[in-house]
Amino acid sequence: MSEGGAVRPAEMSDIEELVAMWTRYMRVHALNPAYRRIRDDALDIRGRLFRRHIEEATSAVFVLEAEDGGLDGMIVCLVEENEPLFEPRRYVRIQTPFVRREVRRRGYLRRLLQATFEWAVDWDIDEVRLFLGSDNLIANAVADDLGFEPIEVVRRYPLRPEPKTNWED
């Protein structure tokens, strides 16, 4: 049994649990307009994306080990090119930061972020960007507390009526 709270790079053997955590993440944020229209094959696609992020050098998934040997959290990071007019030319995009509700408020998100920061420094990158839903007030408050500053807001406008979400019970 591993000591809970250890952060490590994800392995291929973690894929099933990562997809399960991602599903939980999506259900928690099901009211966010960006997540309402999930494809029927989204779980398969997400699994393939996790595999790619684990295999490719320009992306990584860090996980937080649980005391029972499972996972209590995850964070995905990838190197992205910036718009050609702006510096820095590359940054690390951080997405899907997730710590299970049952183990929050123990500094685990900070530990996942620290692994990401160290990974970015290894890539000689000096900026990370944390992507969060605008409706996630708690996550945005935590980001503010951690020193992240907002730099843009993405808004959407649907041109056709939207079907019911795949996540609605």
Range of the domain at 127: 7-145
In a domain, 169, yes or no: no
Residue 152, pLDDT above cutoff 90: no
Residue 39 covered by a domain: yes
pTM (global) more than 0.85:
yes
Q: At 33, which amino acid appears?
A: P
168 within some domain: no
**Tokens (6 digits) for 59:** 């992306």
What is the distance between the alpha carbons of residues 22 and 29, in angstroms, rounded to a whole number? 11
- The answer to whether position 71 is within a domain reads yes
Tens digit of each residue's pLDDT (9 = 90 or more) over 34-60 = 777 788 898 999 999 999 999 999 999
- What values do phi and psi take at 125, rounded to 5? -110, 135
Question: CB–CB of 27/19 below 8 Å?
Answer: no
